[in-house]
Amino acid sequence: MTTALITGSTAGIGSAFARRLAAQGHNLVLVARDTERLGEQATELHDRHGIEAEVLTADLSTDKGIAAVEARLGDRTHPVDLLVNNAGFGNKGRYLEVSMADELTMLKVHIEAVLRLTSAAAESMRSRGRGGVVNVASVAAFVPRGTYGASKAWVVQFTQGAAKDLAGSGVRMMALCPGFVRTEFHERAGMGTDNIPGWMWLDADKLVAAALADLARGKTVSIPDPRYKALMGVVKLTPRGLLGGVSSRTGRKYGPQ
């Protein structure tokens, strides 16, 4: 039986990945900051699907937290076959309205943690000749808007480059780029959602099903919804300066986790 490790597993897209993978018979390593919520999630998934659900409490904004997950990913006696780097958050406010400490914490979680955990997983997977990594980014990666979008753009570029370097190794790499998803993300960040049209909201469970299908097909970038695929097609044809003006008026509200 294969094992999947999911960061940010207790809510939103991470929780949807956990439900879907457990239903498919995968054992899980559930990673988040809240030990109580992790325990409840592990018990529920074990009881419902009969899988083993391991709990790992870790704060990925700290070196200690990242190192703990690195160590688990490097455990050759209990290998991880699929890594889902989902942990993330958004800051409320435009550039220079957010404290430097908060900006750096975001980069720690969105970039350093993703780099270190992907590298730990990929090294072990390459030695076995199989495995997969899903790095959760955002459609905000394709729009010039603030630190959040910039960090997610890094995730996309990094994942595509790593996928190219690992071609033929048996290790699949994919950046997942959803749009607005009904999760706790915006509430935790103190962001309002009243100005977001209803058609732009995605269901986390459907999104995850589409993402896993894209991974199986070998895609390196997944935009798992026809509406957002069409929207990103328009974005590619729109001048960058105009995109910056539009994103500035709508505010920093992209955020899948």
Q: What residues are annotated to the active site?
A: 148
Q: Tell me the one-letter amino acid at 46.
A: H
Extract the tokens encoding 219: 């895609």
Question: Rounded to whole angstroms, what are the CA distances from 70 to 73, 107, 188?
Answer: 5, 18, 26
- Reduce the secondary structure of 148-194 to three states and give it as a string: HHHHHHHHHHHHHHHHHHCCCCCEEEEEECCCEECCCHHHHHCCCCC
Instruction: Report the distance separating Cα 2 and Cα 60, nearest Å.
Output: 24
- For residues 157, 163, 166, 169, the Cα torsion angle rounded to the nearest 10 degrees is 170
Q: Tell me the one-letter amino acid at 24.
A: Q
CB-CB contact of 39 with 62 (8 Å): no
141, containing H or E segment: none
Specify the DSSP class assigned to residue 228.
H
Instruction: Report the distance separating Cα 190 and Cα 208, nearest Å.
Output: 25
Nearest residue to 249 (alpha-carbon basis) of 179, 98, 147, 145: 145
Instruction: Report the distance separating Cα 200 and Cα 180, nearest Å.
Output: 6
| Pairing verdict, β 27-32 and 53-57 | parallel
